[in-house]
Amino acid sequence: MVVVGAGAAGSAAAAALVQVLPQLEVVVTGREDRLPYNRTTVNKGLLTGAVDDQDVVLPGLRGLAVTWQLGQPARSVDAAARIVELASGSSIAADAVVLATGADPCPLPAAIEPAAASRVLEMRTASDSFRLLEALRHGAGHILLADAGLLGAETAGSLRALGVNVTLVDPADRPLSTHLGATAASWVQDQHVRAGVDLRTGTAVVAVETAGGGVAVTLDDGSMMRADAVVASLGVTPAIDWLRDSGISLSNGVPVGSGMRVLDHPGIYAAGDLAAVPGPGGILLRTEHWGVALTQGRTAAASVLADLGLADASDGAASAEPPGYSMYVHGTKLTIVGWTHDAIDEAVVHGAVGEQRFTMALVDRQGRISAAVGVGGARVANRLRGLIARRGEIGEIGQVLEKTA
């Protein structure tokens, strides 16, 4: 067995395989030269110093009976023959291949002076976090974050907790509204302002040049500001370039069906940020979050074992459960359950906006519940999982919450 990618999905798949059948020969290849770690700490615990790089290694991996080929990214795969070629030139043939290379950070779409490039950073890996920490240790006191999405919002909170001045720039008038709905997104904006973040919405970075010991950043509204460094927090794109000649159909990632099986390619599976899973209405959706990647990796492993006759088959429906994840904004936890892509309306279903805790339900065009967002608490949002899974109506919420109380 070959698992391509040593992140959350890949490590979960590998662990699940050898835990069921310890005698299996499982090879895990990974781009980073380190054991899989909790990537959610990159812009939080690692950045603030609450944990170090040894603390974040995933538990149970050091003694796991797999062959790690770390620092060995894959260059291509022959999906028909199930042969993976590594960047080193070596090849690995397998009975099954799990694709779990995750996603790559989106580059900053701006004119960057070559001399300023070293001060334009990313925030995706532990190494990225260490580079920013190094800049802070050398006196960087003002960081400009380009994009106020999930990554930018959380990173702003971590930097402010360290006493760093933060400018947060986003082209949207209300960042995060596609992830949280308008009400929760507005709440996030208020938290940024209260925390002392210089929030610039409706504009984007168009140029970065050297200026003294830092950079001069030009926005598309014509304004210019100085900063010590720029962090591109524009989200990610699925890491699928290496699959272009594989014969696998690529559409918003790698399309999968039941059990994370890659469509039309027996013996090939995909999990994590690159996996496009059928959502409501059959629309292929990717969920870029740690917990979802872990679940998908385990599901892919179960399918591998079942397809090879090494374990009983399971249902493994890729879209059976609504996705769920959390984020932290200036110390407050937000929990998102369900599919927010087709929501057009929302309603407060618990608490009140402005209180320490409240929960929003997001509604699609048919008046059905597509997602829930819990601010300050996850309990109510999680209790609506069943209703979200079957796309119940908003009028059912009271009854559901009463029954699950």
Domain boundaries, the chain: 2-104+237-307, 111-234, 331-403
The pLDDT of residue 382 is above 90:
yes
Integer-rounded Cα Rg, in Å, for the chain is 22
Residue 318 predicted with pLDDT over 60: no
Question: Identical fold at 2-104+237-307 and 111-234?
Answer: yes
CATH for 331-403, options being 1.10.10.10, 3.40.1160.10, 3.40.250.10, 3.30.390.30 = 3.30.390.30
Dihedral over Cα of 351, 355, 357, 358: its sign: positive
Tokens of 342: 């087709």
Mean of the pLDDT values across residues 373-387? 94
The third-level CATH classification (topology) of the domain covering 2-104+237-307 is FAD/NAD(P)-binding domain (3.50.50)
Q: Binning pLDDT at 50, 70 and 90, where does residue 283 land?
A: confident
Sign of the CA dihedral running 201, 202, 204, 209 = negative
Angle between helices 290-307 and 8-20 (to 10 degrees): 40
Taking residues 334-350, what's their average pLDDT? 94
- In the prediction, which pLDDT does 62 show? 82
pLDDT in tens, 28-55: 999 999 999 999 999 999 999 999 888 8
pLDDT higher for 136 or 405? 136
- pLDDT value, residue 365: 92
- For residue 282, the model assigns a pLDDT of 80
Q: In what order do the strands lie in the sheet with 332-338?
A: 324-329, 332-338, 369-375, 358-363, 345-351
Q: Which of residues 58 and 372 earns the better pLDDT score?
A: 372
Residue 364, pLDDT above cutoff 80: yes
313 has pLDDT over 90: no
pTM over 0.85: yes
Query: For the segment 294-308, what is each residue's pLDDT rounded down to a tens digit?
Result: 999 999 999 999 999
pLDDT tier at 399, thresholds 50, 70, 90: confident
Please give the average per-residue pLDDT across 256-277, as a whole number. Answer: 96
Identity of residue 263: L
Instruction: For the chain, give the mean pLDDT.
Output: 93
Rounded to an integer, the average pLDDT of 246-253 is 92
User: Which tens digit of pLDDT belongs to each residue from 59-101?
Assistant: 888 889 999 999 999 999 999 999 999 999 999 999 999 999 9
By CB atoms closer than 10 A (0-12, 13-18, 19+), residue 81 is exposed
How many other CB atoms are there within 10 angstroms of residue 56's CB atom?
20
DSSP string, 274-333: TEEEE-GGG-EE----HHHHHHHHHHHHHHHHHHTTSS------TTSS--EEEEEETTEE
Q: Which fold has domain 111-234?
A: FAD/NAD(P)-binding domain (3.50.50)
- pLDDT band at 402; cut points 50, 70, 90: confident
